[in-house]
Structure 1
Amino acid sequence: MAGLATSFGSGAMTNPMDDVAAHSQAMLVIGSNTTEQHPVFGTMLRQAVLKRHAKLIVADPRKIDLTEFATLHLRLKPGTDIALLNGLMYIILEKGWEDKAYIAERTENFDEFKANIMNYPPDAVSETTGIPVEQLYEAAEILATTKPASIMWAMGITQHTVGVQNVMTCANFQMLLGNMGVPGGGVNPLRGQNNVQGACDMGGLPNFYPAYQWVNQEPNQKKFEAAWGVSLPANIGMTVTEMMPAAANGKLKALYILGENPIMSDPDTNHIRHALDTLDFMVLQEIFPSETAEYADVLLPGVSFAEKEGTFTNTERRVQRVHQAIQPIGNARQDWEITQEIARRVIELGSRKPSDAPHAAWNFTSPADIMAEINALAPSYAGISYERLDRGERLHWPVKDAEHGGTPILHVGKFARGLGKFAATVHVPPVEMPDNDYPMLLSTGRVLYHWHGGEMTRRAEGLMEVYGQSLVELNPDDARRLGVNGNKRVRVASRRGVIEAEAWVTDRVPPGMVYANFHFPEVNANQLTIAALDPIAKIPEYKICAVKVELVK
């Protein structure tokens, strides 16, 4: 594969982006600043509203740009997504708007699910979420009576300690209304980085071999042992958010990091610095010197997207061909070549030669050789070839064989597991809420002009001219209380760290909330964030922590 990424899984889109844009009559965007973080798709959603008059509902604590196109903006309190969605489903059941035939034919566990939903009447949900009861009824009616309807979300749903439960609740909602497996419907998580989907598809998760084959199931273990000529453990490995505490505790001794900058992107930066400093050995494979490079014992020069040959897999499960545009500069080499050479040397140190392994493991001569192995071992990629992609075929996995046309829409007629299972999900408050010492709430994210840790975008002069410093969004009411006037510089502190930045006084954020990004090293919001994890996906609660804000005098 041509990209490298580390991901906290939220699944893949069940429906292609152009299908949603062309066929959804109603759209719920929750926990996604789509026009800034996925601007191409965000433009498609805007056009669906403007040209087809599709009804758009945005659920977000902030008044993001997309709300200008929305029929309804549900300005919920951060961390109350489950309460909101369960409350909408209460109203749908109360009014009899659920798709009874779909529920009977294609789902299970409905009675337990319904009993749980009865704990979310409108008045209680309004108190929890801060959304007026009349808006709850309006949103429920739009989404229930306008078919088909789609749901889109991003890390505003997943980056919580209840991230998995949030995703399950979105799936419940769409099954309740019969919107799964149909054009213009589905559950559609928007991936956070280029080729995150492809990295997960290829086994970049600790519990799966490529194509989501469980590592702790013996048939899968035997399959990959035979293919790779090695003995494989049956236990599930660690996520990145488990590796860092293990490093800090001395249980993890070495790290090989490819194309990632945990100093910028992981929660609680001071703890990450301690973890990396405690390691016995660290290798970093990157395209630029990063903040993490300071902790590396060995730096390996990889290549950028424009120097690669291979494929990327995007958020809608579509595999896209990538052709090398420029030659690598200096001593940089293809990422797969670097990893392969390291593997060969490790094998040699263990008195085994690469040629001893079945199927000439670690003897790839090109990305095409790697794709051939993928075809053989990853069933959902079995029919995807460079030849088909170069002919212009749009292939969304699963693609079962060379004659199969791909699967643009998942779960048509039948779910992959048979019956879709309703889950009883419960609202749980965030781990850290405002108190007397830290009376405000911080949420984090990105801005349009920069990407992730900013290793590339902060080197682009044009982007830095537009957005050259980190800004902290602050509500006008809070600004007046703090005395923000000509001096707009504020200090934001949590129990883990402190940053100072210029305040952008704006009603984009509600009173009592500030919003910051992590693109700039000196003002990185992750110095403040908490490392509390979802117990299943191990994703950090980036979106909520308690802070205090003071004027810098």
Structure 2
Amino acid sequence: MEIIIDNKKIEVDKGKTVLEAAKENGIVIPTLCHSSFLEDVGACRMCLIEDLADGKLKTSCTTEVKEGMEVLTKSERVEDSRRTILDLLISDHPLDCMTCEAGGNCILQDLAYHYGIERSSYGAKVERRFEIERNNEFIELDPDKCILCGKCIRVDQDIQCSDAIDFVDRGFQTKVGAANDEGLGGEDSTCVFCGQCVELCPTGALSYIPSQNKGREYDFEKTVTTCPYCGVGCQLELKTRDRKVIEVGSVYREGTPNPYGEACVKGRFGYDFINHPDRLKKPLIKRNGSFEEAEWEEALSMVAERLTEIKDEYGGRALAGLSSAKCTNEENYLMQKFMRAVIGTNSVDHCARLCHASTVAGLVKAFGSGAMTNSIAEIEGSDVIFVIGSNPTENHPVIGSKMKKAQKQGTKLIVADPRQIELSSLAEVAIQHRPGTDVALLNGLIHVIIDEGLADQKFIEERTENYEYLASVVEDYTPEKVEEITGVEAVKIKKAARLYAEADKAAIYFAMGITQHRTGTDNVLSVANLALLTGNVGRESTGVNPLRGQNNVQGACDLGALSNVYPGYQSVEDPEIKEKFARAWETEELSEEVGLTVVEIFKQAGKEIKGLYIIGENPVISDPDQRHIEESLDKLDFLVVEDIFLTETAKFADVVLPAACFAEKEGTFTNTERRIQKVNQAIEPPGEARADWKIISEISTRMGYQMNYDSPAEIMAEIAEVTPIYGGIYADRLGDKGLQWPCKDREDPGTKFLHQGEFARGKGKFHPVTYIPPAEEVDEEYDFIMMTGRMLYHFHTGTMTRNSEPIDKHEPDAYLEINEKDAKKLRIKEGDRVRVTSRRGEVETNVRIGERVQPGQIFMPFHYAESPANRLTNPVLDQDAKIPELKVTAVKIEKVKSNKI
């Protein structure tokens, strides 16, 4: 339709607001409460326009365009009204702009300058009405600077969905506050410190701590890059000054995983590690049991010589390498290339073996591809979301918020987890099954769907195979039998099955809660069976969606940091594939023998494995049975570790090489939805630290195999040549949004969701599985089942978050969650110190009492070196994926010390 703004005729789509129409045509209308992704409320009145049809002043953000309407955005009435509004706002606003944190980045200040308002005409002396709230480690709230625009509240309630803040009190005492007005760090606060409120605040009412003398917005250099924490792949803006990261800001880009500038507490505040004084700055060589600083020439030569000596004496099979889900795609590609083309072994692995190896194994069997089938943006389009073995609001917070938003908009949730998680309270069906009984639970759902005629027969006939076998196997898994195994009421099993099967678009999301078992592959196959049975694959907002735990665990898998496949999941046992890579890499060293996995490498340390090269991994903390890992490292003839800190693992090394972190190098990460995104350098590495791709190249060249790359872009071009799913991935194509694989050539726009029309393997295949109990169960001595996992505030082995001051200050200690009934029996109180013992070791930690875990079960996060949960866990393996059973460990508990207050 056609409208007239300021005597200018413009065309605009029906349904737009006047504000949107003006913006699209370069007409500036000032706003304070407006955001492009929040519902407009017209609260600030700054965006007033004059409608010539009726002569009224209206808020442009809430006024929808009409055919032929004529408005003025700068009439005398409009401008006078805006001046009056500003005059009123400033009448009780502190005029400390000279020292205010938001100076130079304050919309109120900008508008006052534009309209020439130096001070309020009302002449009132501005006196402080409220105390500054600073009862947490992250965010400061100064209510006196708040103009009550409500943007922070709307982003909290509508995007973050934490419902942590709202307006408090009335009249002149109105302010933004948390639950019971206790502050963001209060006991009843639901704030998760995502920082979005600060990012949207138009004044200095909300700011980050520490704030003193860190600099103003115009002091910073800004670099957009990809978050180094979980697999969501959030885009962040690193604000730097004097070669230091000072602050992390939001990036607002459609088509990215976090289009509304979302972040979690780790992405927003977990950056102190970058400039931490303990960062490795020079190579270290261990002499007489102690580390000494060395020059790069000596360290690299020693590494190359020792690796060559071991290879010459024992063969390439005597060496192994651990790549890293923290490193870039290009670095993971070079690491596996180095091990295969230079060393001559396929014994290269990384932490995916401990988290999602069973995902790859299971989904490849069922669908032909082992990755997340759909995209993050599709979450809100699902009618039903089934979350099993995943805690998204803590482990993938931006995805968790999207699920909460979808639930607010009508999506039904089914949540299955042995613990009560935040999403459980929002679920239509919340299931707490016994740890390790996932197969029985899923078979029970499948039984109900088949028994009640809810299966998608057309999809089954046209797009699947092996259905009859599935039906015969699950016939025994009646809801009543499954109740006996899982502890879940039969009626709840039936309700969940019907809800999932009857939805038009149902999506499954899972993580390590179902993968880290000796039956991990069976669990994943069961999930795939459920999706195939109901036709919930190959369509938008459906699918089977494993949530990757680390920033580049997907990319590390894609680029061949696995013992059985080359980049692109091409089998090392296929002679044609081997020949292809031998030609491309110009080497005769390639082996057709499947290499050892990470758990097998440590079992063979000192035996078959004589030397180990580790990049960015900390197995002493992350791997099961810590004592065994430490003993294995001691048995090696040679260990080289490349990392950013002297980690618990690096302390065992003969040579330690200082690496650059994500903020100090270029490259790409691949997120959980298969999206390859840029990593951009913001600052220089500390001291003499170098990017991993440069270090690998230099060691390789010293060993006689030339790796002469000028940039990560050059490495990515090589990846595209040998990796069909990355065939169209080139650095110059990634832009601001990245590309999702499969992307076969330069013309391919990438793939939003997989298996449309046909599965990667042709037809989807049902793989019926039977329930097998966990390897360990309770007995008279070990009478509790321990589960492990992650928490919101820390990440993996703590190398980054525990070196980020505000985060570690907020959550400084390890803990054990125990049910209040068990605590009463053991006479344990909140905060007591207890000893937890398994058949492999013992740790001490603090107690948290509640109802998140059921009686007879406990939960421990594994991030803390002081209380390493993986000293206790079971290394028994899934025979297909070689993933250990980290989620079910039999333990006993003894009180060590009471918490006397």
Q: Shorter-chain-normalised TM-score: which range?
A: over 0.9
1:13-46 CA distances to partner (integer Å, 9 max, x unpaired)? Answer: 1000111x22110010000011100001011101
Distance, in Å, in 2 between the alignment partners of 1:490 and 1:162 is 30
Amino acid across the alignment from 1:102 = F
For residues 266-415 of structure 1, what are the structure 2 equivalents within 5 Å? 266-347=623-704, 354=706, 362-390=707-735, 392-415=736-759
Could you say which residue in structure 2 is the equivalent of 1:37? 395
Could you say which residue in structure 1 is the equivalent of 2:431? 74
Distance, in Å, in 1 between the alignment partners of 2:665 and 2:407 is 37
1:226-261 CA distances to partner (integer Å, 9 max, x unpaired)? Answer: 0111121111111101100010x5221000000000
Distance, in Å, in 2 between the alignment partners of 1:175 and 1:136 is 19
1:6: Cα distance to partner?
A: 3.0
For the residue of structure 2 that corresponds to 1:474, the secondary structure is: strand
Distance, in Å, in 1 between the alignment partners of 2:560 and 2:764 is 25
Distance, in Å, in 1 between the alignment partners of 2:509 and 2:639 is 38
Distance, in Å, in 2 between the alignment partners of 1:2 and 1:382 is 14
Q: Work out whether 1:26 is the aligned partner of 2:378.
A: no
Distance, in Å, in 1 between the alignment partners of 2:787 and 2:539 is 34
Alignment CA distance shift 1:210-1:84 (3 Å): same
Distance, in Å, in 2 between the alignment partners of 1:406 and 1:102 is 25
1:519: Cα distance to partner?
A: 1.1
The question of whether the paired residues in 2 share the 8 Å contact of 1:2 and 1:309 is answered with: no
Could you say which residue in structure 2 is the equivalent of 1:522? 866
Distance, in Å, in 1 between the alignment partners of 2:461 and 2:478 is 24
Amino acid across the alignment from 2:720 = N
Alignment CA distance shift 1:3-1:143 (3 Å): farther
RMSD: 1.1
1:104-149 CA distances to partner (integer Å, 9 max, x unpaired)? Answer: 0000011111100102011100110100011011101100111210
Distance, in Å, in 1 between the alignment partners of 2:538 and 2:582 is 35
The question of whether the paired residues in 1 share the 8 Å contact of 2:416 and 2:432 is answered with: yes
The question of whether the paired residues in 2 share the 8 Å contact of 1:12 and 1:190 is answered with: no
The question of whether the paired residues in 2 share the 8 Å contact of 1:2 and 1:305 is answered with: no
Amino acid across the alignment from 2:820 = P
Could you say which residue in structure 1 is the equivalent of 2:611? 254
For residues 185-200 of structure 1, what are the structure 2 equivalents within 5 Å? 185-200=542-557
For the residue of structure 2 that corresponds to 1:48, the secondary structure is: helix
> Whose relative contact order is higher, 1 or 2, with alpha carbons under 8 Å and at least 6 apart?
1
1:280-322 CA distances to partner (integer Å, 9 max, x unpaired)? Answer: 0000000011111111000001111111201100111011111
For the residue of structure 2 that corresponds to 1:492, the secondary structure is: strand
Q: Select 2:781's aligned residue among 433, 437, 442.
A: 437
Could you say which residue in structure 2 is the equivalent of 1:540? 884
Could you say which residue in structure 2 is the equivalent of 1:357? none
| Structure 1 length-normalised TM | 0.96
Distance, in Å, in 1 between the alignment partners of 2:608 and 2:745 is 43
1:393: Cα distance to partner?
A: 4.7
Amino acid across the alignment from 1:141 = R
Could you say which residue in structure 1 is the equivalent of 2:790? 446
Could you say which residue in structure 2 is the equivalent of 1:350? none
Distance, in Å, in 2 between the alignment partners of 1:330 and 1:434 is 51
For residues 6-17 of structure 1, what are the structure 2 equivalents within 5 Å? 6-8=351-353, 9=357, 10=359, 11-17=370-376
The question of whether the paired residues in 2 share the 8 Å contact of 1:3 and 1:195 is answered with: no
Amino acid across the alignment from 1:501 = T
Q: Work out whether 1:466 is the aligned partner of 2:825.
A: no
Q: Work out whether 1:114 is the aligned partner of 2:459.
A: no
1:167-226 CA distances to partner (integer Å, 9 max, x unpaired)? Answer: 111000000000010111000000111100000110001111000110100110000000
Distance, in Å, in 2 between the alignment partners of 1:504 and 1:2 is 42
1:2: Cα distance to partner?
A: 5.2
Amino acid across the alignment from 1:143 = Y
Amino acid across the alignment from 1:368 = A
For the residue of structure 2 that corresponds to 1:522, the secondary structure is: coil
Distance, in Å, in 1 between the alignment partners of 2:831 and 2:680 is 50
Q: Work out whether 1:483 is the aligned partner of 2:827.
A: yes
Distance, in Å, in 2 between the alignment partners of 1:487 and 1:545 is 23
Alignment CA distance shift 1:282-1:527 (3 Å): same
The question of whether the paired residues in 1 share the 8 Å contact of 2:330 and 2:715 is answered with: no
Distance, in Å, in 1 between the alignment partners of 2:430 and 2:830 is 32
For the residue of structure 1 that corresponds to 2:880, the secondary structure is: coil
Amino acid across the alignment from 2:488 = I
Distance, in Å, in 2 between the alignment partners of 1:499 and 1:187 is 37
Amino acid across the alignment from 2:387 = V
1:452-501 CA distances to partner (integer Å, 9 max, x unpaired)? Answer: 10011111111122111001001101100001137611111001111111
Amino acid across the alignment from 1:377 = V
Distance, in Å, in 1 between the alignment partners of 2:623 and 2:526 is 26
The question of whether the paired residues in 2 share the 8 Å contact of 1:533 and 1:539 is answered with: yes
Instruction: Give the 4+ runs in structure 1 shifted more than 4 A.
Output: 2-5
Which is further off, 137-146 or 481-490?
481-490
The question of whether the paired residues in 2 share the 8 Å contact of 1:163 and 1:534 is answered with: yes
Q: Work out whether 1:234 is the aligned partner of 2:599.
A: no
For the residue of structure 2 that corresponds to 1:35, the secondary structure is: helix
For the residue of structure 1 that corresponds to 2:562, the secondary structure is: coil
For the residue of structure 2 that corresponds to 1:521, the secondary structure is: coil
| Structure 2 length-normalised TM | 0.59
Amino acid across the alignment from 2:389 = G
Distance, in Å, in 1 between the alignment partners of 2:602 and 2:831 is 38
1:65: Cα distance to partner?
A: 1.3
Distance, in Å, in 2 between the alignment partners of 1:6 and 1:309 is 22
Could you say which residue in structure 2 is the equivalent of 1:149? 506
Q: Work out whether 1:182 is the aligned partner of 2:539.
A: yes
Could you say which residue in structure 1 is the equivalent of 2:447? 90
The question of whether the paired residues in 2 share the 8 Å contact of 1:310 and 1:321 is answered with: yes
The question of whether the paired residues in 2 share the 8 Å contact of 1:152 and 1:188 is answered with: yes
Q: Work out whether 1:221 is the aligned partner of 2:565.
A: no
The question of whether the paired residues in 2 share the 8 Å contact of 1:2 and 1:308 is answered with: no
Gaps of 5+ in 2: 1-328, 333-349, 360-369
Q: Which has the larger radius of gyration?
A: 2
Amino acid across the alignment from 1:93 = I
Which is further off, 469-478 or 5-14?
5-14
1:152: Cα distance to partner?
A: 0.3
The question of whether the paired residues in 1 share the 8 Å contact of 2:640 and 2:656 is answered with: yes
The question of whether the paired residues in 1 share the 8 Å contact of 2:509 and 2:544 is answered with: yes
The question of whether the paired residues in 2 share the 8 Å contact of 1:27 and 1:54 is answered with: yes
The question of whether the paired residues in 2 share the 8 Å contact of 1:13 and 1:188 is answered with: yes
1:372-396 CA distances to partner (integer Å, 9 max, x unpaired)? Answer: 1011000111111222212x35411
Q: Work out whether 1:49 is the aligned partner of 2:407.
A: yes
1:363: Cα distance to partner?
A: 1.4
Amino acid across the alignment from 2:399 = F
Q: Select 1:170's aligned residue among 527, 532, 547.
A: 527
Distance, in Å, in 2 between the alignment partners of 1:499 and 1:487 is 16
Distance, in Å, in 2 between the alignment partners of 1:60 and 1:486 is 24
The question of whether the paired residues in 1 share the 8 Å contact of 2:330 and 2:667 is answered with: yes
Amino acid across the alignment from 1:533 = L
Amino acid across the alignment from 1:279 = L
